Amino acid sequence: MEGTPLEGHSLGLLPWFMAATQILGLTAVIMTGVWLGHYEGGFAWDGSSLELNVHPLCMVIGMIFLYGDAILVYRVFKNESKTTVKILHAAIHLTALVAAIVGLLAVFGYHAAQNIPNMYSLHSWCGLITVILFCTQWVMGLMFFLFPGSTYALRACYRPLHEYFGLGLFILAIGTALMGITEKLLFSIRDTYSKFVPQGILANALGLVLVSFGITVGYIVTRSEWRRVTNPEEEALSMHFKTLTEGDSPDSPQGQ
């Protein structure tokens, strides 16, 4: 892992970028909590607008903060076995999915209690598409990368799509959150938003923190020199699988 001085310097920055993602992600969660807790009356599960407040909090925790962290595990745990990191990746995503489902139940429950139609806004269209594709991506990832039935060739073929759509859906989740913030503010403080009231500034700032989180996570995972380097043992295993499994199935889930 010595590399050139430039590579050494670049690798040295990774912990700082990682720290930045965690500060930005946690700040986003706290700001969402303060916005809804302090300015919007807090949280409840009673069909009132306090139940609606549960929705953004769960979505920011699940579909943004945990989703981002699940993507980053491959850059953090470079020396753990690939299978361990895959399981961690899948487990964090599953936790994110549970949070997202609670968030969806909150908004559908609120709409049912208040007799408000569902799924009419662009925010809701993008949000539901994101969650459905996120589930699909999770199941596909499980089948291709953790179940033993998949071949090396199939994994190598699907992997770039999994990575592209994984990051793409994460970005779409952030875009959906920005629309959600806009909607919430125009329903709650429509008459005072243009007067730069604290609630509006806080929620706008939250939007910028979410964008910054997305930009930082995206930069870390797309920077080629920070990609996980397959260790020689894993490489040998992969090559073994490749030889064994041209169109056939490997004996173990590891090696992709």
Residues that bind a copy of itself (CB under 8 A): 116-117, 120-123, 125-126, 129, 160, 164, 168, 171-172, 174-175, 178-179, 181-183, 185-187, 193-196, 200, 203-204, 207-208, 211, 215, 218-219, 222-224
CB nearer to a copy of itself: pick between 98 and 208:
208
Tokens of 235: 């490489």
Buried (b) or exposed (e) across 79-101, using 16+ Cβ within 10 A?
eeebbebbebbbebbebbbebbe
Distance CA 150, CA 25 (A): 34
Q: Are 239 and 37 in contact (CB under 8 A)?
A: no
Please, what is the minimum distance in Å from the beta carbon of residue 51 to a copy of itself? 18
How many C-beta neighbours within 10 Å does residue 2 have? Answer: 6
CB nearer to a copy of itself: pick between 186 and 236:
186
Please, what is the minimum distance in Å from the beta carbon of residue 82 to a copy of itself? 21
**Those residues with Cβ within 8 angstroms of residue 151's Cβ, 6 or more apart along the chain or in another chain:** 241, 245, 247, 248, 249, 250
Helices (H), 35-145: 49-52, 54-59, 67-76, 82-114, 122-141
Please, what is the minimum distance in Å from the beta carbon of residue 28 to a copy of itself? 14
First vs last Cα of the chain: how many Å apart? 21
Please, what is the minimum distance in Å from the beta carbon of residue 114 to a copy of itself? 11
CB nearer to a copy of itself: pick between 66 and 220:
220
Q: Are 127 and 176 in contact (CB under 8 A)?
A: yes
Please, what is the minimum distance in Å from the beta carbon of residue 228 to a copy of itself? 17
Please, what is the minimum distance in Å from the beta carbon of residue 123 to a copy of itself? 6
Please, what is the minimum distance in Å from the beta carbon of residue 84 to a copy of itself? 27
Q: Are 134 and 220 in contact (CB under 8 A)?
A: no
Distance of alpha carbon 240 from the chain centroid: 33
Distance CA 93, CA 63 (A): 9
